[in-house]
């Protein structure tokens, strides 16, 4: 298979063919690390060094894992399915499904997401009579998550903090929380890795089985690993020691999630005879962009030396725009994107990156005002919508009747006259009897004195769920979901009221059915309910990013890690915002912020815009701000000032005693009015969505938002100027 090495540069080829022993591949941004990982796996198999079954590859996102699988499948048709390629969490789920009984759970455990964890945590507060004003739920959740990432279980945590009053209270919450998880036969995300490490540490036979199986282990984004992930990797690699980690210390930006940059910096001391190979040739950005990134990151100390370069010389200078206010900054971004689309044909080439989510509001306003289509990554996720969480709760309860959390969510959804008082009684009985709420419902007649008139309703609910539970392993997933929607009355509840909101919810459920159908057709899965629940629980925001949608993308810099765009707007480069106020004065935090800036710069392929304001409103107060130190670290030879408007605006303001924001509003209103020739009731044709009826027209500046009921997909909102609709007479 000669093509494995054909298109690699000499350093990449060395990284692919160095197969034995510990290997650290320091991969600069855009240096082709995925190519190296994929070709390394193909080379190992092609050379007969291992079977696909003997290879484990760990990633941080489903997107990265899927890309690796697709590319390996292209190189090794029919062989890639035997490899374990996935996120840390998904790989740990596989191990736990086979072995978690060693830890006292059953193999049909469920995985709680963040919303479920928060709900369970509030239960703990009520039982312990703890005031969430003194112990904010999110803060305690973060402390417990951090403890698990540092391999501290509830008992160890309690022992460590027994002399600290505040933390000893958190320890009580932690212990009760874990007890409730176990009672529900449930785990949270952090438990997936912590329990796997526990399992392997306490059961030498299980550890030896996986050490023997995984002859070659590859880890992507090693700089982002936390302490518990480090322990997991160390345990699994303890057999053959053929551990290859790929990462870049200059892109370590997840300290707030527990990532430990020391893991990559100490790799060579952790593994005897480890070898380091550095990839510096960049295949993404222009040399100008790389020179700017190199100049910024060079100010960090204690880093592995590297300097990105590309075979493509030159490139456009970085465009710098200094605005009077954040509104002017946002207007510049929106108009520049509109101009780019007119000249190049795509909004989707453009990404707007910001340090904090709070910056997005003003930008969104201006994008709408200028009629620029956009998407915000990490808004309300599809799987966080109420109707989707309700159906998932039904499926979880069918899969695991001990899941009290899911049961409480749907026992009266739709309304069954089983109110909160009844649920409280069921919960109290379950606690007294040390069993699940479902077990209490199963035997409701035994507790008739307490439950009274609710017994018959509970019996009906039990019979409904039992009928579905009996079918879970005998019919396809999509059929089971159809029965859930129909037999529970959930779909009828939504269809009973003809409102836009309920129509949208029905559309979301239809889309969820599509998710299930695609899952059934995926050859990687056996199609079980357990696998499906895992797949939807482990989906991240970035996994939902559709590169083909023609809309500008807005996201935090953290969310942009691993992505690239032809045009990038790096916004808000001001002291106190980027770097943030909390980082100023702490050198380690400043260095992490600088790495974040480096990541942002290297997302750009062709054009980079850096924007900043002279004043910004924070918490209702407008104050002057200074340019970020990171901006000052970019040599002026790589930048071009695009702020000529300032002199003109300042003169105008002085002469008319008005604000710069008002000035630009006047400038905007001077543009010729465009009429939108669409009315309610018009029949239109869209090239993608087909035929539809205009339901409403809302004027928006010189454009309009059209709400259209399409025959194929239902209701959708489109901007008239860019929808390319054809009126059907």
Q: How far apart are CA 258 and CA 506, in angstroms?
A: 39
Cα–Cα distance, 174 to 196 (Å, whole number): 19
- C-alpha 284/C-alpha 566 separation (Å) is 9
What beta strand segments (E) does 204-310 contain?
216-219, 243-247, 275-279
Active site residue 183: no
Backbone angles phi, psi at 302, to 5 degrees: 65, 35
In angstroms, the CA 413 to CA 94 distance is 32
Residues constituting the chain: 729
- Cα pseudo-dihedral 381, 385, 389, 390, rounded to 10: -170
Does the active-site annotation cover 603?
yes
Give the closest residue to 34 by CA, choosing from 91, 92, 79, 75. 75
Residue tagged active-site, from 221, 291, 329, 403: 221
Nearest-angstrom CA–CA distance, 60 and 223: 11
Is residue 2 within 8 A of residue 43, CB to CB? The reply is no
Residue 503, φ and ψ in degrees, nearest 5: -65, -40
User: Which residue in the list 113, 116, 190, 220 is annotated as catalytic?
Assistant: 220
Say whether 521 is catalytic: no
Buried b (16+ CB within 10 A) or exposed e, 172-183: ebbbbbbebbbb
Alpha helices in 552-684 (DSSP H): 557-560, 587-601, 629-632, 645-656, 660-669
Q: Which of 635, 629, 664, 699 is closest to 327 using CA atoms? A: 664
Catalytic residue among 33, 607, 612, 616, which?
A: 33
Question: From the CA atom positions of the chain, what is the Rg in Å?
Answer: 28
Q: What is the largest CA-CA distance in the chain?
A: 85
Per the annotation, the verdict on 409 as an active-site residue is: no
Per the CB < 8 A criterion, the answer to whether 562 and 63 are in contact is yes
**Contact yes or no for 362/330 (Cβ under 8 A):** yes
H or E segment to which residue 604 belongs? strand 604-613
**Burial status of residue 106 (CB atoms within 10 A of its CB: 0-12, 13-18, 19 or more):** exposed
At residue 19, what are phi and psi to the nearest 5 degrees? -95, -25
Dist CA 19 CA 5 (whole Å): 14
Q: Which of 17, 18, 19, 34 is catalytic?
A: 34
CA distance 359 to 716: 27
Preceding omega of 579 cis (within 30 degrees of 0):
yes
Our answer to whether residue 13 is catalytic in this structure is no
Separate counts of helices (H) and strands (E) for the chain: 33, 22
Residue 329 among the catalytic residues: no
Q: 357 vs 224, 362, 572, CA distance in Å?
A: 22, 11, 12
Q: Among residues 87, 225, 229, 251, which one is catalytic?
A: 251
Beta strands 615-618 and 621-624 are antiparallel
Cβ atoms of 681 and 706 closer than 8 Å: no
Question: Which residue in the list 40, 355, 416, 603 is annotated as catalytic?
Answer: 603
List CB contacts of 535: < 8 A, sequence separation 6 or more.
519, 525
Distances 438 to 315, 396, 397 between C-alpha atoms, Å: 65, 13, 9
Catalytic residue set: 33-34, 220-221, 251, 603
């Amino acid at each position: 298979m000669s093509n494995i090495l054909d298109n690699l540069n000499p350093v990449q080829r060395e990284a692919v063919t160095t197969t034995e022993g510990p290997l650290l591949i320091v991969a600069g941004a855009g240096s082709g690390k995925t190519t190296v990982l994929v070709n390394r796996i193909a080379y190992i198999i092609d050379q007969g060094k291992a079977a696909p079954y003997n290879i484990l590859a760990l990633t941080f996102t489903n997107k990265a894992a899927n890309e690796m699988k697709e590319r390996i499948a292209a190189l090794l048709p029919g062989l890639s399915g035997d490899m374990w390629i996935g996120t840390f969490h998904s790989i740990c789920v596989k191990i736990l499904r086979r072995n978690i009984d060693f830890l006292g759970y059953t193999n049909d455990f469920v995985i709680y997401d963040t919303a479920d964890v928060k709900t369970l945590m509030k239960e703990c507060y009520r039982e312990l009579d703890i005031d969430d004003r003194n112990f904010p739920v999110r803060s305690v959740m973060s402390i417990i998550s951090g403890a698990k990432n540092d391999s501290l279980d509830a008992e160890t945590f309690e022992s460590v903090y027994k002399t600290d009053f505040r933390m000893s209270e958190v320890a009580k919450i932690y212990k009760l929380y874990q007890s409730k998880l176990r009672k529900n036969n449930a785990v949270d995300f952090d438990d997936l890795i912590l329990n796997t490490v526990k399992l392997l540490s306490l059961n030498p036979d299980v550890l030896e089985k996986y050490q023997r199986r995984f002859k070659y282990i590859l880890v992507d984004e090693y700089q982002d690993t936390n302490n518990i992930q480090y322990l997991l990797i160390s345990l699994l690699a303890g057999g053959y020691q053929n551990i290859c980690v790929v990462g870049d210390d200059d892109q370590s930006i997840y300290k707030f999630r527990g990532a430990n940059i020391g893991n990559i910096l100490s790799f060579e001391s952790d593994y005897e005879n480890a070898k380091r190979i550095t990839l510096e040739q960049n295949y993404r950005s222009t040399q100008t962009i790389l020179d700017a990134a190199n100049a910024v990151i060079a100010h960090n100390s204690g880093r592995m030396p590297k300097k990105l370069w590309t075979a493509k010389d030159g490139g456009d200078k970085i465009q710098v725009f200094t605005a009077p206010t954040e509104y002017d900054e946002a207007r510049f971004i929106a108009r520049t994107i509109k101009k780019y689309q007119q000249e190049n044909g795509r909004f989707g080439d453009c990404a707007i990156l910001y340090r904090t989510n709070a910056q997005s509001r003003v930008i969104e306003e201006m994008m709408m005002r200028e009629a620029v289509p956009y998407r915000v990554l990490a808004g309300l996720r599809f799987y966080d919508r109420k109707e989707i969480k309700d159906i998932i709760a039904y499926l979880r309860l069918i899969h695991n009747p001990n899941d009290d959390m899911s049961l409480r969510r749907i026992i009266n959804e739709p309304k069954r006259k089983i109110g909160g008082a009844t649920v409280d009684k069921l919960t109290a009985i379950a606690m007294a009897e040390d069993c699940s709420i479902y077990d209490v419902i199963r035997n409701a007649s035994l507790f008739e004195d307490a439950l009274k008139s609710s017994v018959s309703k509970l019996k009906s609910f039990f019979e409904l769920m039992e009928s579905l539970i009996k079918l879970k392993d005998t019919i396809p997933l999509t059929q089971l979901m159809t029965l859930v929607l129909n037999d529970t009355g959930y779909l009828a509840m939504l269809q009973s009221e003809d409102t836009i909101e309920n129509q949208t919810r029905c559309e979301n459920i239809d889309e969820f059915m599509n998710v299930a159908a695609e899952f059934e057709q995926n050859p990687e899965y056996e199609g079980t309910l357990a696998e499906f629940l895992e797949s939807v629980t482990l989906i991240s925001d970035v996994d939902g990013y559709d590169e083909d949608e023609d809309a500008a993308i807005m996201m935090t810099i953290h969310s942009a890690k691993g992505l690239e765009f032809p045009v990038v707007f790096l916004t808000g480069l001001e002291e106190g915002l980027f770097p943030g106020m909390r980082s100023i004065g702490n050198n380690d935090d400043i260095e992490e912020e600088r790495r974040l800036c480096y990541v942002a710069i290297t997302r750009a392929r062709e054009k980079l815009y850096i924007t900043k304001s002279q004043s910004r409103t924070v918490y209702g107060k407008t104050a002057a701000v200074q340019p970020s130190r990171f901006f000052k670290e970019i040599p002026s030879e790589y930048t071009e000032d695009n702020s000529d408007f300032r002199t003109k605006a300042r003169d105008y303001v002085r002469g008319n005693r008005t604000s710069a924001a008002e000035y630009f509003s006047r400038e905007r209103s001077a543009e010729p009015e465009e009429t939108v020739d669409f009315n309610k009731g018009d029949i239109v044709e869209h090239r993608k969505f087909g035929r539809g009826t205009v339901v409403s027209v809302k004027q928006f500046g010189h454009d309009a938002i059209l709400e259209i009921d399409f025959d194929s997909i239902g209701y959708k909102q489109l901007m008239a100027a860019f929808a390319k609709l054809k009126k059907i007479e």
